[in-house]
């Protein structure tokens, strides 16, 4: 996770997590130019480990970190990262979209009424039988979303 720690060897602060140079390399590896805004947003996304964010959440984090970006730039960057394979897009109800930094095969719980998405390991759900794909198509991925609501006390 992203945190400052005291380096025991020389007393200097050392940043742990996803350093800026790692984000630059990650962007170059997928063919994206590492602009200042992409690197800054990438660092905010990936420095905290696997997580789910909406454009609005990332925009708020960028404002707190004093990263000068517009909400439109955040949306565009998230979609560029998704197209490049760095993120996975989760469309919830057509009105809300989350972006997942974990690209492995897995599914999700979505908490109704909250901006909360929780991972479900792929092995926890057995998709026994799928219909055949129409002619000329193949199934690329199966996403299962299980909706949750809090139980009243």
Residue 127 lies in a domain: yes
In a domain, 3, yes or no: no
Q: What is the pLDDT of residues 118-145, one digit of tens each?
A: 989 888 988 888 999 999 999 988 888 8
Dump pLDDT digits (tens) for 87-102.
999 988 777 899 999 9
| 116 domain residue, yes or no | yes
Q: Which domain range does residue 27 map to? A: 16-148
The HSE-up count of residue 118 (CA atoms within 13 Å, CB side) is: 9
The burial class, CB within 10 Å (0-12 / 13-18 / 19+), for 7 is exposed
- Within a domain: 144: yes
User: What are the pLDDT digits (tens) for 45-82?
Assistant: 998 889 999 999 999 999 999 999 999 999 999 999 99
Query: Does residue 73 lie within any of the structural domains?
Result: yes
Residue 75, domain member (yes or no): yes
Query: Is residue 4 assigned to a domain?
Result: no
The pTM is what? 0.77
CATH code for the domain of 138? 1.10.10.10
Q: How many domains does the chain have?
A: 1
The answer to whether position 45 is within a domain reads: yes
pLDDT at 34 over 50: yes
- Which burial class, exposed, middle or buried, applies to 36 when counting CB atoms under 10 A from its CB (0-12, 13-18, 19+)? exposed
């Amino acid at each position: 996770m992203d945190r400052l720690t005291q380096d025991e060897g020389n007393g200097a602060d050392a940043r742990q997590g996803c350093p800026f140079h790692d984000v630059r390399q990650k962007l170059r590896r997928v063919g994206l130019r590492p602009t200042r805004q992409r690197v800054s947003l990438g660092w905010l996304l990936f420095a905290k480990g696997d997580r789910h964010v909406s454009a609005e959440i990332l925009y708020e984090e960028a404002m707190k970190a004093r990263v000068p970006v517009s909400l439109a730039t955040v949306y565009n960057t998230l979609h560029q990262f998704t197209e490049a394979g760095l993120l996975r897009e989760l469309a919830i109800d057509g009105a809300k979209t989350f972006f997942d930094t974990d690209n492995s095969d897995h599914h999700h719980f979505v908490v109704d009424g909250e901006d909360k998405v929780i991972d479900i390991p792929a092995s926890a759900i057995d998709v026994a039988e799928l219909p055949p794909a129409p002619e000329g198509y193949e199934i690329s991925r199966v996403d299962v979303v299980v909706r949750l609501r809090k139980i009243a006390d």
